[in-house]
Amino acid sequence: KNEVEQSPQNLTAQEGEFITINCSYSVGISALHWLQQHPGGGIVSLFMLSSGKKKHGRLIATINIQEKHSSLHITASHPRDSAVYICAAPDDKIIFGKGTRLHILP
């Protein structure tokens, strides 16, 4: 069993829809990392959060350390949001989820 589990694995939605990606982890961590990997392969750090909620533009990330669960939300989704979203538990060696492949249709 992977120590960091993401759901769903794949998600296709229409432009404008509200998107939620979930991440559950079994390791003991003090913070969680959300990453975005574009179709071209580049990786961008979206958030690192240890409690509560963070917002950046249309992206919102929440975390509940006690329940070991985090969510990434995208409001008013757009085709350019199409990417793989990865949650990761940073420690000495970061443990990655398998990623959620998001495809937003115009």
Partner 1 sequence: NAGVMQNPRHLVRRRGQEARLRCSPMKGHSHVYWYRQLPEEGLKFMVYLQKENIIDESGMPKERFSAEFPKEGPSILRIQQVVRGDSAAYFCASSPRRGYEQYFGPGTRLTVT
Compute how many other C-beta atoms are within 10 angstroms of the C-beta atom of residue 39: 10
Among 7, 30, 51, 75, binds partner 1 (CB under 8 A): 30
Q: How far apart are CA 57 and CA 8, in angstroms?
A: 23
The nearest distance, CB 6 to partner 1, in angstroms, is 10
Residue 67 neighbours by CB under 8 Å, 6+ apart: none
27 binds partner 1 (CB under 8 A): no
Does 44 contact partner 1 by CB under 8 A? yes
Dig out the tokens for 27 from the structure.
Answer: 């390791």
Range 57-86, binding partner 1 (CB under 8 A) = 86
Structure tokens at 88: 């990761």
Q: Is 51 in the site for partner 1 (CB under 8 A)?
A: no
In eight-state DSSP terms, residue 68 is T
* Residues of the shown chain interacting with partner 1 in the complex, contacts defined by CB under 8 A: 30-31, 33, 35, 41-45, 48, 86, 88, 90-99
